[in-house]
Structure 1
Amino acid sequence: MGVQDDTGIEALAAEARAALVREIDAEGAFDGGPLWREAFGAVPRHLFVPYYYVAGPRGYERRWSQNPDPEARERWVRGAYEDVPLATRLRDGELLSSSSQPSLMARMLVALRVTDGDRVLEVGAGTGYNAALLAHRLGDDDLVTTVDLEPEITESARQHLAAAGYRVPVVTGDGARGVPERAPFDRIIATCALPTVPRPWLAQCRPGARVLTPLATGVLALTVRDAGHAEGRFLPTAAFFVPLRGAGHVEPGPVPPAGLPGRVREQDSFRFLLALTRGALDPREACALWEGEGAPERERYGVTVAGGRTWAWLDDPAGPGAWPLP
């Protein structure tokens, strides 16, 4: 692209970014964390997705910043600021990495409750965009560490961060093991789905730290007491993330059996319970519980790590509705 093209693209990106911030703000995602509004308005998402894939009738269409067609470049930059997840890496038809939906990112970052001076570990580097938002909010690149298993992902995240003016430490490794050499952390946020709470994370947290991680199509917010104890509840919002690759890899959740009533099978809150109790409750038992408790939503569930074990629960950690996690 020429200089004039670059100028036009940057102006279009600024306009689209401001529109995205207004859209997220109108949903109330910044309520309780207004400083994130400025971060989303400042960090250029398009620099973190120089190309991405959009599903279409003929398979995936690749949109990229260097397309010689000006209209195609415009579609690329406008698409970068839509409030949708963007597929960024595919291998043999499998989604390896994506840039999460911005409004969901905003809700998770607000729920992380970062304060000035916090040291934050992000598990799942992705494009580097989330790490840039954290670094912008904290005003210090070195307070943020991001880790991913795939060297290709970490290298591209490093390049994207540098292009946007950030020098966040990017580590290649198994996120389930944390990053002990950069510990201790005040906050840990995962942007990939896990089957349980990795114990190494707690050991790398300061007492009182907050951990936010996708689990069973929800987002769990834990408070860490010490290396062996943590507890918290799920946020109300649904969340579907690419599984963590490595020691904490999680397989896709079960499909509700055909024998269950159709009105139950299609309910998001039931499918969440089914994923949370996978291997611990028979689907029909889960159905009976779900109906008996009045179709509970995500925020009534929580997770406790204590005494060498981890379990999920409904309403009360010590109540009858509890199931072991891996």
Structure 2
Amino acid sequence: MAREWFVSDRIWVQEVDGGPYEPMDRSAEPEHWLRNVHSNRVIVTQFDDGATSWPEVGYRPTCSASMPSAVAGMLDALDISSGQSVLEIGTGTGYNAALLAELVGVRGKVTTIEIDADLAATARARLEAAGYGHVAVVVGDAAGMAVTEKFDRVIATAGVHLGQLPVGWLESTRIGGVILAPMRADLASGPLVRFEVERDGVGRGHAVRGLRVGFMELRSHRVAALPFDGLRWDDPAADRSITEVSPFKMLIDEASRWAVAVAVPSCRYSLEKKTPERDHGVAWLSDPVSGSWVSVVPDNRSRYTVRQSGPRRLWDEAEAAFRWWRRHGEPPLEAWHWTVAPDRQTVALA
């Protein structure tokens, strides 16, 4: 199936990993556009819920064609059979819905929910043009969906915050069915969790081994960030202490960052490299709710200087969680066990 059938003529692409988004117009650069669409890159088709117009680059990507490798990995983990019914959360471009329809075949059924009415209308038109007009495209907020039928598979293409997987998804899944969702916390994203709904109506699962994904959050799960550029890393009014724990080790390693994320809610991070004006990097933590923040910088004795401000002692919380993770043998993401029930949601070491 051609990916270009579902990609806008005007897009944004990061042609270098970690580089800036570059606007691209199919009519002006047809070969360049097609080369990127055929690559294993994320193709952004909307910024800021449509408030930013091409070619301007917005703050937050809000619709994209996901990396083909991630799409293939998720479909493999979903383990779809011909004739099954699938509910997709987040229609986006419509490409994934078309792939799902191909996998379930003529005896199967695909329903896809999109909160953005304009995106839904565009995806519906593209699906019809590609021969998948039988896919049901529904406009609505999947975070608060009402249960109307049961599905064999539920797949989310939007990030779901820890402890907030909508109960309606669970209630929409048949016993023995599967929910596949990219889970995240304020501090970390990445675990793609495969839940199996058991006879007691509870979904239990683990992170899919070897597959990491990063998706835009469900709109109702978005949390504002505390801008770090308005803070001074060497603020003399902040409380100062010394630690031997490297914040860079803590926050770069996905396993340790996840352990901290579980234990320290409402916390974001940023890592700054050294600059010509500053001969060291800076690790930041912040809580946008309380306004608390932390800066951590290396000193000259293999230790780190910590500055904390605000009512929360964010570094103390993060360091305690990091040491707990080490005491438990530095478990990877796959070692965590996830449970979703109508009255509770938990994540704990298996």
Normalized against structure 2, the TM-score is what? Answer: 0.69
**311 and 75 in structure 1: CA distance in 2 versus 1, 3 angstrom threshold:** same
1:208 alignment partner AA: G
Aligned to 2:172: 204
Q: Deviations over 1:92-137 (max 9, x none)?
A: 4121111111111111110101112111000011100110111011
Is residue 239 of structure 1 aligned with residue 213 of structure 2?
Answer: yes
Cα distance in 1 for residues equivalent to 2:7 and 2:147: 29
- Gap runs ≥5 in structure 1: 1-42, 316-326
Q: Deviations over 1:262-296 (max 9, x none)?
A: 32222122222333344299322320122122322
Contact 2:251 2:257 in 1 (8 A): yes
1:276 alignment partner AA: V
Cα distance in 1 for residues equivalent to 2:92 and 2:8: 13
Aligned to 1:272: 258
Contact 1:254 1:275 in 2 (8 A): no
Cα distance in 2 for residues equivalent to 1:295 and 1:169: 44
2:193 alignment partner AA: L
Aligned to 1:54: 13
Normalized per residue, the structure richer in strand is 2
Equivalences for residues 103-252 of structure 1 within 5 A:
103-140=69-106, 143-167=109-133, 168-178=135-145, 180-181=147-148, 183-195=149-161, 196-216=164-184, 217=189, 218-225=191-198, 228-236=201-209, 237-246=211-220, 249-251=221-223
Cα distance in 2 for residues equivalent to 1:63 and 1:131: 25
Identity %: 32
**102 and 59 in structure 1: CA distance in 2 versus 1, 3 angstrom threshold:** closer
Report the 3-state secondary structure (helix = DSSP H, G, I; strand = E; otherwise coil) of the residue aligned with 2:160: coil
**108 and 163 in structure 1: CA distance in 2 versus 1, 3 angstrom threshold:** same
Is residue 286 of structure 1 aligned with residue 316 of structure 2?
Answer: no
Report the 3-state secondary structure (helix = DSSP H, G, I; strand = E; otherwise coil) of the residue aligned with 2:77: helix
Normalized per residue, the structure richer in helix is 1
Aligned to 1:13: none
Contact 1:121 1:145 in 2 (8 A): yes
**251 and 145 in structure 1: CA distance in 2 versus 1, 3 angstrom threshold:** same
Aligned to 2:346: 311
Report the 3-state secondary structure (helix = DSSP H, G, I; strand = E; otherwise coil) of the residue aligned with 2:63: strand
Report the 3-state secondary structure (helix = DSSP H, G, I; strand = E; otherwise coil) of the residue aligned with 1:74: helix
Deviation for aligned residue 1:161: 1.2
Report the 3-state secondary structure (helix = DSSP H, G, I; strand = E; otherwise coil) of the residue aligned with 1:135: helix
- Gap runs ≥5 in structure 2: 53-57, 228-232, 234-241, 267-313
Cα distance in 1 for residues equivalent to 2:264 and 2:65: 27
Cα distance in 2 for residues equivalent to 1:275 and 1:131: 32
Cα distance in 1 for residues equivalent to 2:155 and 2:46: 21
Deviation for aligned residue 1:229: 1.3
**276 and 64 in structure 1: CA distance in 2 versus 1, 3 angstrom threshold:** farther
1:83 alignment partner AA: N
Cα distance in 2 for residues equivalent to 1:179 and 1:79: 39
Cα distance in 2 for residues equivalent to 1:253 and 1:289: 27
Is residue 302 of structure 1 aligned with residue 268 of structure 2?
Answer: no
Deviation for aligned residue 1:89: 0.3
Cα distance in 2 for residues equivalent to 1:303 and 1:254: 29
Is residue 45 of structure 1 aligned with residue 12 of structure 2?
Answer: no
- Report the structure number with the largest CA radius of gyration: 2
Deviation for aligned residue 1:60: 4.0
Which residue of the other structure, out of 42, 50, 61, is the alignment partner of 1:85? 42
Q: Deviations over 1:55-88 (max 9, x none)?
A: 47996433233x1x4xx10111111111111111
Aligned to 2:271: none
**235 and 253 in structure 1: CA distance in 2 versus 1, 3 angstrom threshold:** farther
Report the 3-state secondary structure (helix = DSSP H, G, I; strand = E; otherwise coil) of the residue aligned with 1:275: helix
Aligned to 1:8: none
Q: Deviations over 1:194-241 (max 9, x none)?
A: 113211111111111100000022111101125841111111222110
Report the 3-state secondary structure (helix = DSSP H, G, I; strand = E; otherwise coil) of the residue aligned with 1:89: strand
Contact 2:85 2:104 in 1 (8 A): no
